[in-house]
Amino acid sequence: MSLATIILWQPAVGNNDVIAPLQDLGGAGNLTITTNVGPQNALAYPVAPQTMPKGPYYMGGANPNNVARTVLITSSDDLSGVDFTVTGLGSAVDGDGNPTGPLNQPISDTVTGPNNDNVETTVIFKRVDSISVDGAVTNVSAGLGTTGITTYIFPDYDRRAWYASCSVQVLGTSSIEYTAYQSLNKPSYPGANSGNFVPFIGGEIPAFEVATSMTAATDNQITKLDFPIASLWLSIAETDPLTANSLIFTFLQQGIK
């Protein structure tokens, strides 16, 4: 039996308005956001359609929503006197870009507005519920940030035989850097109670690089996983936000049930 998960990381460039379209606001208030509207806002941005077909053994298909990433706020005007507060579900991150807590926790991050450029949150968001400002703003939009992680993949480690591998395909340019991480713990996260492991309660789960070839990598890589693990994810940073940086992360598991 085979089990595959494919996650797409979309570039920040060209997606700087997918959360909040270009708009003005005459005073303090909330920007109009175009994702996560209504009570069924279970997934994070972006809302772009899947680009690869689902198969019978795919967990979620090639889903661009399976990421948690920063929010990029852009304006051609001087908004440096205005504070922007992004609120949703997500986590702060450590120096490696890995979450320091569960991705499903309510969290807010306040940043000073841009001045004919863009600014970015430090928190990564799985879901964005609102973006508020404390003053008037013009020509402002919000979109995909340049750093984040794929959401956790939970392999089926309860098998009599374990064969697993993962790959990263970098699309477009090499102005993107990623590291694949693995852990024998599961985070306190929806669905993490399945299987034999108790979720890791508290701060960040212990993270270990999958392979040297997938540590601070910038090109296509593939590697095998030598032993069963409880969770797997990719930490991603676009080193040049002005170029189209995207990648596809694939995890493939085979083995006897």
Whether 131 has a pLDDT exceeding 80, the answer reads: yes
Dihedral pair phi/psi, residue 50, rounded to 5°: -65, 145
Rg of the chain (C-alpha set):
19
Q: What is the spatial distance between Cα 214 and Cα 180, in angstroms, rounded to a whole number?
A: 6
Strands (E), 92-123: 105-112, 115-120
Q: What is the mean pLDDT of residues 27-56?
A: 52
Question: Which pLDDT score, from 0 to 100, does residue 22 have?
Answer: 96
Question: Which pLDDT score, from 0 to 100, does residue 92 have?
Answer: 93
Dihedral pair phi/psi, residue 247, rounded to 5°: -155, 165
Q: Six-digit token pair at 139? A: 């020509």
- In this predicted model, which residue has the larger pLDDT, 62 or 247? 247
Closest CA to 159 of 214, 225, 61: 225
pTM assigned to the model: 0.83
Q: What is the mean pLDDT of residues 47-60?
A: 30
Question: Which pLDDT score, from 0 to 100, does residue 174 have?
Answer: 67
Render pLDDT for 169-181 as a digit per residue (tens, 0 to 9).
998 766 899 999 9
> Domain segments of the chain: what residues?
2-57+67-147, 163-254
Q: Are 8 and 63 in contact (CB under 8 A)?
A: yes
Would you give the DSSP letter of residue 191?
A: T
Question: Which pLDDT score, from 0 to 100, does residue 2 have?
Answer: 72
- In this predicted model, which residue has the larger pLDDT, 190 or 65? 65
Q: Six-digit token pair at 122? A: 């430090």
Whether 195 has a pLDDT exceeding 90, the answer reads: no
Average pLDDT, the chain: 81
Closest CA to 111 of 97, 125, 127, 126: 125
Give 151's pLDDT tier (boundaries 50, 70, 90). confident
Q: Where are the alpha helices (DSSP H) in 166-211?
A: none
How would you class 102 by CB atoms within 10 Å of its CB: exposed for 0-12, middle for 13-18, buried for 19 or more? Answer: buried
Q: Is the peptide bond before 46 cis (omega within 30 degrees of 0)?
A: yes
Percent of the chain with pLDDT over 70: 77
